Amino acid sequence: MRIASPRLAKMVLTAFRVDSLGGVYQVKLAPGGAGVRWVAVDAGSPEELDFDPDTSLPQRLRLMMLSFFVPESQP
């Protein structure tokens, strides 16, 4: 979810207390714009992943294969 209003964003973060939850990641554009990076919000040490957190290799391979059947643009 992206919220453009700083005031509303603060209210949502306060309501959900996102910073105190485990398993919360911020999604950022990877360097060079080639994909995304998942950055752990709650980690004691910085954790950055190049793949979706809590997914296995077979799940990622299945999604990659299915992506060939999904159109890149919708009319």
What is the Cα–Cα distance from 12 to 6, expressed in whole angstroms? 10
pLDDT value of residue 13: 75
Q: How many CA atoms lie less than 13 Å away from 5 in the CB half-sphere?
A: 4
pLDDT in tens, the chain (75 residues): 677 888 888 887 777 765 566 677 888 888 888 888 888 876 566 788 888 888 899 999 998 899 888 877 766
pTM for the model stands at: 0.52
pLDDT value of residue 39: 86
User: Is 25:37 a contact under the CB 8 Å cutoff?
Assistant: no
User: Is 49:23 a contact under the CB 8 Å cutoff?
Assistant: no
